[in-house]
Amino acid sequence: MVTKEMTIGQLLMEHPNVAPVLMEVGMHCLGCPSAQAESLEDAAMVHGMDADLLVEKINAFLNA
């Protein structure tokens, strides 16, 4: 299960198929060094979205 405390790097290492979901919500710099170490919660804040909704969307994608 994905949590908002996970870093983008950790998420993509464990679930590389999630990249299109992140791109769809506007997170286009997944390969940036700073993005790799950023938590999903921090990334959501920077992109003006609710971290809980983002995690919900990712987990729903992974469970589909």
Q: What is the pLDDT of residues 10-37, one digit of tens each?
A: 999 999 999 999 999 888 777 777 778 8
Q: Are 5 and 39 in contact (CB under 8 A)?
A: yes
Burial of 25 (0-12, 13-18, 19+ CB in 10 A): middle
Of 50, 14, 13, 17, which Cα lies nearest the Cα of 40?
50
Sign of CA dihedral 40, 15, 31, 53: negative
- Global pTM exceeds 0.85: yes
Q: What are the residues facing 7 on neighbouring strands? A: 39
- Specify the pLDDT at position 31: 74
pLDDT per residue as tens digits for the range 36-57: 888 999 989 988 999 999 999 9
